[in-house]
Chain A
Amino acid sequence: MSDPAPLPILKGTLDNLVLKALCWTPMHGFEITQWVEARSRDALDIRDSALYQALRRLEERELVTGEWGITENNQRARYYRITRAGRARLASDTAQWVRYAKTVTDILTSTPGPA
């Protein structure tokens, strides 16, 4: 299967991807990029700056908190941690996304016929 062109990301979904990434462990910005890229297998076209914007947004809404820490290579980095509110938001957004995607998929893939 040849690589198709990367998909432009739908508005708002990046926030959820970042929250999902932070579900396991606090990460700094670059780690989050790595995590998303690894899982999307580069199918999503995400500007790195967009990721940082998402982080600011989430931090402002208190869905994540950021604090300074030290990387394995002894570098100062800002680590982000998901908050309780962030987990709740991720859960509800995920459920909604799944229902939405399923409904749309069902319609788009059904055989045409009268309702």
Chain B
Amino acid sequence: MTEIRPGVRRLLRLVTRRTMQRDADEEIRLHLELRTRQLVAGGMSPEEARAEAERRFGEVDDERGRSHAFAARRERSQRWRGALDVVRADVRYAFRTLRRDRGFTAFAVAIIALGIGASATVFSLVNGVLLRPMPFHEPSRLVWIDNVGDHDDELWRVQVDHFVDLRDQSRSLSGLAGYFAFYNIGDAVLTTRGGDMQRLTRVPVTCNFFPLLGVAPRLGRSFNADECLENSGPTAILTDKLWREQFGADPSIVGRIVTINDRPVQVIGVLQASFDFASVFSPGGPADLFTAYPLSESNSRNGNSLAVIGRLARGATLDQARTELVALGKHLTDEYPRRNTIRPRVSSLDEHVNGHFRPALLVLAFAVAAVMLIVALNLASLQFARMTARRREIAVRLALGASRGRLIRQTLTESLVLAVGGAALGVGIALVATRYISQLRAFDIPLLARVTVDVPALAAATIVAIATGVLVGVLPALQAPAQAGDALKEGGRGATRGGYHARVRSALVVTEIAAALVLLVASSLLLRSFVRALDSDLGFAPAQLARLRVDPAKRIFKYTAATTYYDDVLRRVRAIPGVTAASLSDMLPFTGDRSWGIFAEGQTYQRGQAPEGHIRIIGTDYFKTMRIPMHAGRDFTDADTHNAPPVAIINESMARTLWPGQSAIGRRIMEGSDSVRVIGVVGDTRYSSLETPFAGEVYLPLMQTITSRVDLVVRTTLQLSQLATSARAALAPVAPAAAAGQWTRVQELIDHVASPRRFVVELLAGFAAFALALAALGIYALISYGVTQRRQEIGIRMALGASASHVRGSIVRSTLRLATAGLLLGVAAALLVVPAMSGLLFGVAWSDPVSFAGAAVVLLLVAGAAGLLPAHRAARVDPSLALREG
């Protein structure tokens, strides 16, 4: 009866709206009449009585007005209550039907939850990384300034003198700041109060670095002008994290002297927790404290050492800054022939930080949209099937007086209930997933650490949920029969409209397959790029390589002391059983890079045309340890000391550049003002990324070049923990600070540079798998439903002699027809969409036939499998039983 009651009430409402006011008048009239009659009975004349009655009543007209207003109010509230009752009844009804269909409900809620969880997570990522402004003051006015090298694709840093001149002469930029681009991870050793050594990463910055960014320290202050002069007493600003972890958040830290690299350093400030240098400028890397980088003569001799940021002046545009700095750079290059060249290229800081990652996130956002589309289509298709199955029930309810609008509203309510349930679960998934992803330190993605599920993300999820609900609800509801008679006549068979329904559902499934194919193609392209990148020839064998920082605890300025220290370390480590080779390097692959101009002796080069050599300073046995092939000449030996003639080993690329077609052995290169003899040629190695082409490399012996940063690299079959234990014992007497350090696998360095690619590949592959599963489910549900509907027909065919395999074949064929249609549509869509992601690909073209064919084959196989199950069921139909059922 709950179903009819609201209808009756609606009928009543039409009556009451008009009658309520009449009723109010009537009530007053009756009162006056009864009062008059009472007074007449008491002896008054009718006229007197009437007047007295009205006097006693008071303002009759006022009361009438008030009664009318009240009637209208009551009428409105009743209407609301009525509407609310309808909604409540609909929701109750939805819950009841959903309870009856537990399997469907669980499935629907699960896929909506996964879909919304995925979209909220990806939206949070996109929002956190791309949309939300960087944690600086007016970040949109910050610019990044590269120094374009001899070739347009070479981006260099800026020399200090040029920095000063650009800063002083630029009018479009209100300020310029920078940091020393070649700071080394872990090169600041903090001696804690307990006497332990802690390796920290120190970033030298220009004096105005924090004020320019608009970052105020939470404690203390930024550097003052005196502290930025050379030879001033060293000062440091700590990150919030370091302050908490090493100094117990000591509020009186400012002014304290701490010991870094055995020198006293005064702490002048602590930064806000929200300032995360690394996540913006060096994702995945650490940054613990900041020291002043003086803009001095000697630092200018360091060459192109500054990474430069600037702030646009009021009213200045990026284009103006671009034009002005290009002109300034040209002028400075011409005016100072002894300095390095300067060709400034200005880009927005946001573009610099996120630019290369934007396409990847957009691809993910697109993938999420596709997944949500599939989820919605799948649900719509399932709802369609349910509505068809419930045709009888619907017919009965129509006959009992339920309106078509009411039925549509109920289906909509049901879908919204599902969507809201799914959304609630999805938000939970998003919270967990986002938290998990943002804590992955393994990924080299800017600003990833600050990604959280926030209000916009949740709002987006809610909107997606409601949109899904409406889409899923309206489509199948529209097929509700227009009139009770039609539905009842159709009976349970649904013969008249059956063909139409099947077509609509087929169209939904075909679209699903197409969307799944696009995702499959995209993820297969990215996967193949990823594999290509990992497959790229590194030039060395990272497996079984482990590394440990072994910088000398005190700065060693004497060659003899350095030689003794490194000899001791190598000798002791090589003696550990299970260590097959060990060497030293100041910069292992993927830990940084730097290049100098390298000339063949006697050769003159145009300014800016000198070949570049990437410099690696290494110990003996380096090539054996890394398994870099030795093509000619010999390795460094213990005899190549600072007393011996200076020697170098170059790689093939360098040799080809300097002496094309000739042997390099015995020739001399100019490294700065020194003439160095080439004693060997080795294979090329990959250094800054997996995708960067090989470049010229020059190896110099550690014993002839003092450096303060040294990695020990070891080839070993030992577990890392075993190695650490043995090495600790072996190294403790000669290198106590290093002995306590942390061993890591060289493979981790490669994983780290591959991480952005892996991140996108994993997510996209996940989406593609999900999409494929949903598409398969859609196919299965459709075919399976068709088989159930056609039991009798199949029974008759079999009775007429069709074999089981024939029936099976016809079902599988119809499945494949569906899949093929989806495939063609999907390929067409992919051809439109996929070229947009060429920027993300490496080693494969967007039109890569293998990816397309592979995706198609996978899809056909999965579709075939999804159709096989119902086909088997059809083949087992017993004709006699099927016919009797009718």
Chain A residues packing against B (C-beta within 8 Å): 28-30, 33, 47-50, 52-53, 56, 59-60, 68, 75-78
Given A30-B35, A48-B35, A53-B63 contact (CB < 8 Å): yes
- The answer to whether B30 and A52 have CB atoms under 8 Å apart is no
Q: How far, in Å, is B642 (CB) from chain A's closest CB?
A: 100
- The answer to whether A28 and B30 have CB atoms under 8 Å apart is yes
Q: How far, in Å, is A115 (CB) from chain B's closest CB?
A: 45
- The answer to whether B57 and A49 have CB atoms under 8 Å apart is yes
Given A52-B27, A52-B67, A60-B70, A47-B58 contact (CB < 8 Å): yes
Closest 10 CB pairs of A and B: A49-B58, A47-B58, A48-B57, A30-B34, A49-B63, A56-B70, A30-B31, A78-B27, A29-B31, A49-B57
Partner of B60, one of A29, A33, A49, A75: A49
- The answer to whether A30 and B57 have CB atoms under 8 Å apart is no
What are 10 A-B pairs at a CB distance below 8 A?
A29-B31, A30-B31, A30-B34, A49-B62, A52-B31, A52-B63, A59-B70, A60-B74, A75-B30, A78-B23
The answer to whether B26 has its CB under 8 Å from any CB of chain A is yes
Partner of B27, one of A29, A33, A47, A53: A29
- The answer to whether A30 and B30 have CB atoms under 8 Å apart is yes
Distance A33 CA – B26 CA, assembled complex (angstroms): 17
The answer to whether B59 has its CB under 8 Å from any CB of chain A is yes
- The answer to whether B30 and A56 have CB atoms under 8 Å apart is no
Chain B residues packing against A (C-beta within 8 Å): 23, 26-28, 30-31, 34-35, 56-60, 62-63, 66-67, 70, 73-74
Q: How far, in Å, is B639 (CB) from chain A's closest CB?
A: 105
Residues of chain B within 8 A (CB-CB) of A52 are 27-28, 31, 63, 67
Known: A47-B56, A48-B31, A52-B28. 9 other contacts (CB 8 A): A29-B27, A30-B30, A33-B31, A49-B58, A49-B60, A49-B62, A52-B27, A52-B67, A76-B30
Instruction: Using CB atoms, name the residue of chain B closest to A75.
Output: B30
Instruction: Using CB atoms, name the residue of chain A closest to B63.
Output: A49
Residues of chain A within 8 A (CB-CB) of B62 are 49
Residues of chain A within 8 A (CB-CB) of B27 are 28-29, 52, 77-78
Residues of chain B within 8 A (CB-CB) of A59 are 70, 74
Residues of chain B within 8 A (CB-CB) of A30 are 30-31, 34-35
Residues of chain A within 8 A (CB-CB) of B73 are 60
Q: How far, in Å, is A3 (CB) from chain B's closest CB?
A: 17
Residues of chain B within 8 A (CB-CB) of A68 are 23
Residues of chain A within 8 A (CB-CB) of B57 are 47-49
Residues of chain B within 8 A (CB-CB) of A28 are 27, 30
Distance A78 CA – B34 CA, assembled complex (angstroms): 13
Chain B interface helix/strand/loop/mixed: helix
- The answer to whether B30 and A50 have CB atoms under 8 Å apart is no
Residues of chain A within 8 A (CB-CB) of B34 are 30
Which of B30, B59, B66, B67 has the most A CB atoms < 10 Å from its CB? B30
Which of B23, B34, B62, B67 has the most A CB atoms < 10 Å from its CB? B34
Instruction: Using CB atoms, name the residue of chain B closest to A76.
Output: B26
Q: How far, in Å, is A38 (CB) from chain B's closest CB?
A: 12
Distance A41 CA – B26 CA, assembled complex (angstroms): 28
Residues of chain A within 8 A (CB-CB) of B59 are 49
- The answer to whether B26 and A48 have CB atoms under 8 Å apart is no
Instruction: Using CB atoms, name the residue of chain B closest to A52.
Output: B63
- The answer to whether A77 and B74 have CB atoms under 8 Å apart is no
Residues of chain B within 8 A (CB-CB) of A78 are 23, 26-27
- The answer to whether A56 and B66 have CB atoms under 8 Å apart is yes
Q: How far, in Å, is A46 (CB) from chain B's closest CB?
A: 9
Q: How far, in Å, is A1 (CB) from chain B's closest CB?
A: 22
Q: How far, in Å, is B330 (CB) from chain A's closest CB?
A: 83
Distance A48 CA – B73 CA, assembled complex (angstroms): 22
Distance A108 CA – B26 CA, assembled complex (angstroms): 46
Distance A75 CA – B30 CA, assembled complex (angstroms): 8
Distance A78 CA – B20 CA, assembled complex (angstroms): 11
Instruction: Using CB atoms, name the residue of chain A closest to B27.
Output: A78
Given A47-B56, A76-B26, A77-B30, A53-B66 contact (CB < 8 Å): yes
Distance A82 CA – B602 CA, assembled complex (angstroms): 115
Residues of chain A within 8 A (CB-CB) of B26 are 76, 78
- The answer to whether A48 and B58 have CB atoms under 8 Å apart is yes
Distance A78 CA – B58 CA, assembled complex (angstroms): 20
Distance A78 CA – B19 CA, assembled complex (angstroms): 13
Q: How far, in Å, is A63 (CB) from chain B's closest CB?
A: 14
Distance A16 CA – B463 CA, assembled complex (angstroms): 50
Instruction: Using CB atoms, name the residue of chain A closest to B59.
Output: A49
Residues of chain B within 8 A (CB-CB) of A48 are 31, 35, 56-58
- The answer to whether B31 and A56 have CB atoms under 8 Å apart is no
Residues of chain B within 8 A (CB-CB) of A33 are 31, 35
Residues of chain A within 8 A (CB-CB) of B35 are 30, 33, 48
Q: How far, in Å, is A57 (CB) from chain B's closest CB?
A: 9
Distance A28 CA – B33 CA, assembled complex (angstroms): 13
Which of B28, B35, B58, B73 has the most A CB atoms < 10 Å from its CB? B58
Residues of chain B within 8 A (CB-CB) of A75 are 30
Instruction: Using CB atoms, name the residue of chain B closest to A56.
Output: B70
Distance A68 CA – B59 CA, assembled complex (angstroms): 24
Q: How far, in Å, is A22 (CB) from chain B's closest CB?
A: 16
Distance A53 CA – B65 CA, assembled complex (angstroms): 11
Distance A43 CA – B398 CA, assembled complex (angstroms): 63
Distance A91 CA – B270 CA, assembled complex (angstroms): 67
Distance A77 CA – B32 CA, assembled complex (angstroms): 12
Distance A52 CA – B57 CA, assembled complex (angstroms): 9
Q: How far, in Å, is B726 (CB) from chain A's closest CB?
A: 84
Q: How far, in Å, is A36 (CB) from chain B's closest CB?
A: 13
Instruction: Using CB atoms, name the residue of chain A closest to B56.
Output: A48
Instruction: Using CB atoms, name the residue of chain B closest to A46.
Output: B56
Q: How far, in Å, is A15 (CB) from chain B's closest CB?
A: 15
Distance A60 CA – B69 CA, assembled complex (angstroms): 12
Q: How far, in Å, is B15 (CB) from chain A's closest CB?
A: 12
Distance A50 CA – B31 CA, assembled complex (angstroms): 13
Distance A53 CA – B60 CA, assembled complex (angstroms): 12
Instruction: Using CB atoms, name the residue of chain B closest to A31.
Output: B34
Distance A78 CA – B59 CA, assembled complex (angstroms): 20
Instruction: Using CB atoms, name the residue of chain B closest to A68.
Output: B23
Distance A6 CA – B581 CA, assembled complex (angstroms): 117
Distance A52 CA – B66 CA, assembled complex (angstroms): 10
Which of A49, A53, A75, A77 has the most B CB atoms < 10 Å from its CB? A49
Distance A107 CA – B294 CA, assembled complex (angstroms): 89
Distance A50 CA – B23 CA, assembled complex (angstroms): 18
Residues of chain A within 8 A (CB-CB) of B28 are 52
Which of A29, A56, A75 has the most B CB atoms < 10 Å from its CB? A56
Which of A28, A30, A75 has the most B CB atoms < 10 Å from its CB? A30
Q: How far, in Å, is B344 (CB) from chain A's closest CB?
A: 76
Instruction: Using CB atoms, name the residue of chain A closest to B19.
Output: A68
Residues of chain A within 8 A (CB-CB) of B30 are 28-30, 75-77
Distance A98 CA – B23 CA, assembled complex (angstroms): 37
Q: How far, in Å, is B68 (CB) from chain A's closest CB?
A: 11
Residues of chain A within 8 A (CB-CB) of B63 are 49, 52-53
Distance A77 CA – B31 CA, assembled complex (angstroms): 9
Distance A111 CA – B528 CA, assembled complex (angstroms): 104
Residues of chain B within 8 A (CB-CB) of A50 are 58
Distance A60 CA – B72 CA, assembled complex (angstroms): 12
Q: How far, in Å, is B428 (CB) from chain A's closest CB?
A: 40
Residues of chain B within 8 A (CB-CB) of A76 are 26, 30
Distance A47 CA – B63 CA, assembled complex (angstroms): 11
Q: How far, in Å, is B44 (CB) from chain A's closest CB?
A: 16
Q: How far, in Å, is B56 (CB) from chain A's closest CB?
A: 5
Residues of chain A within 8 A (CB-CB) of B23 are 68, 78
Q: How far, in Å, is B69 (CB) from chain A's closest CB?
A: 9
Residues of chain B within 8 A (CB-CB) of A53 are 63, 66
Distance A107 CA – B348 CA, assembled complex (angstroms): 83
Q: How far, in Å, is A43 (CB) from chain B's closest CB?
A: 15
Q: How far, in Å, is B70 (CB) from chain A's closest CB?
A: 5
Residues of chain B within 8 A (CB-CB) of A60 are 70, 73-74
Distance A47 CA – B55 CA, assembled complex (angstroms): 9
Distance A39 CA – B729 CA, assembled complex (angstroms): 107
Residues of chain B within 8 A (CB-CB) of A56 are 66-67, 70
